[in-house]
Structure 1
Amino acid sequence: MTINSVYILSKSGGLIYQHDHNIPTVENEKTFSFPLEVKLELQNRNIVVTYGQRDGIKVGHMLVGINGVKLVNGQLEDGRDALQVLADETNYPINLKFARPKLTTNEKIFQASMFYPLYALACQLSPEPRSSGIEVLEADNFRMNCFQTLTGVKFMVITDLKQTGIDTLLHRIYELYADYALKNPFYSLEMPIRCELFDEHLKSTLEQAERLGISNI
């Protein structure tokens, strides 16, 4: 069982805290013939897949190695331009290594802000009055659980599909938030959470939940 990450959103939908606990590294390596079966483009100094998916290589994955040589900002460690190497037919067959890119801070803020209108839309679409909104969102390889407090602050935990007892974990995180963030006289509900004690106790709680089970935290 794996706990991937924790997000805390303010009442207005802003990201006020985020912690990556256990993000798996996704890498795929494959030997290609000429021409390439996927389309690659340089974006933000990284070479990424923009079209074509196969063998675990998906749109958005970035190129991290060519024939065992690592890439840095679109160039190989030996100084060669990666796109020029890929365009030269004499370099084929060629071994390419791809990895799923890590989210930047701005991307995490953007994704958190996108959840807010989805949550509100779910409340409006629900046939039941006073709907609690999105509590569980399940995909093919992860699950997102959300708990909204009376003040409108939302706690989100991303886990694998086998993780159970997330409701208990969410309430435990809320208790830590109340104990170490809200009791700070200089903190307000819309401010980012910057509290070392909260960080330490959250990490300890997540590690204990994975090791001993959520019922033992």
Structure 2
Amino acid sequence: MPIFGLWVINKAGGLVYQRNFADGLAQLTSNEYLVLAGTLHGIHAITSRLSPIGSSSGAQVIEGETFKLTILLTATGTKFVLLASVTETSAELILQKVYEIYADFVMKNPFHTPEMPVRSEGFDQRITTLMGSFQS
């Protein structure tokens, strides 16, 4: 059940963190990742307005033939997106743990500017450990 990648998108739709965890993914440029993050942000906003019954927080899972995107929307509007195989059953749990790591190593860092790209060795190391524990 491979995990292919992780994105963190700020409330304005900007990509603040992107990391691949599997070989064989298409090699995209930084600009292409930014465009994809902005597009996903727009899709998420549209789907939050499409609910025929009451309000909705937007798309939570977008599934393709060979992958699925699972989205965790936080109270602050930050989106955590996990790109994984369609057979991955623990995507929500992984995203919750990523959010906890983000809170501990990014948001509690007095040198981090909110809504800006994440540059934290501690965050990277914890994410590597977390993803390694689910890659089996």
The answer as to 2:40 corresponding to 1:115 is: yes
The answer as to 2:95 corresponding to 1:170 is: yes
The answer for the alignment partner of 1:125 in structure 2 is: 50
The answer for the alignment partner of 1:14 in structure 2 is: 14
The residue type paired with residue 107 of structure 2 is L
The answer for the alignment partner of 2:68 in structure 1 is: 143
The residue type paired with residue 30 of structure 2 is T
Query: Contact conserved, 1:8 with 1:155, CA < 8 A, in 2?
Result: yes
Q: Give the number of the structure with larger relative contact order, counting CA–CA contacts within 8 Å between residues 6 or more apart.
A: 2
The answer for the alignment partner of 1:157 in structure 2 is: 82
- Extract unaligned runs of 5+ from structure 2: none
Tell me how far apart the structure 2 counterparts of residues 7 and 202 of structure 1 sit (CA, whole Å): 12
Tell me how far apart the structure 2 counterparts of residues 176 and 140 of structure 1 sit (CA, whole Å): 30
TM-score, normalization by structure 1: 0.61
The residue type paired with residue 4 of structure 1 is F
Q: Percent of aligned pairs with the same residue?
A: 34
Q: Deviations over 1:74-118 (max 9, x none)?
A: xxxxxxxxxxxxxxxxxxxxxxxxxxx511111001110111111
Give the secondary structure class of the aligned counterpart of 1:181.
Answer: helix
| Structure-2 change in CA distance of 1:23 and 1:130 (3 Å) | farther
Query: Contact conserved, 1:177 with 1:198, CA < 8 A, in 2?
Result: yes
Query: Contact conserved, 1:5 with 1:23, CA < 8 A, in 2?
Result: no
Whose radius of gyration is greater, 1 or 2? 1
From 122, 125, 128, give the equivalent of 1:197.
122
- Structure 1 or 2: more strand by fraction: 1
The answer for the alignment partner of 1:180 in structure 2 is: 105
Shift of 1:177: 0.1
Tell me how far apart the structure 2 counterparts of residues 204 and 22 of structure 1 sit (CA, whole Å): 14
Tell me how far apart the structure 2 counterparts of residues 12 and 144 of structure 1 sit (CA, whole Å): 19
Count of matched residue pairs: 136
Structure 2 matches for 1:75-114, cutoff 5 A? 101-114=26-39
Give the secondary structure class of the aligned counterpart of 1:146.
Answer: strand
Give the secondary structure class of the aligned counterpart of 2:8.
Answer: strand
Q: Deviations over 1:131-174 (max 9, x none)?
A: 01010000011010000000000000000111111111000000
The residue type paired with residue 155 of structure 1 is F
TM-score, normalization by structure 2: 0.96
Runs of 4+ in 1 over 2 A off after TM superposition: none
Tell me how far apart the structure 2 counterparts of residues 200 and 149 of structure 1 sit (CA, whole Å): 22
- Extract unaligned runs of 5+ from structure 1: 26-100, 212-217
The residue type paired with residue 133 of structure 2 is Q
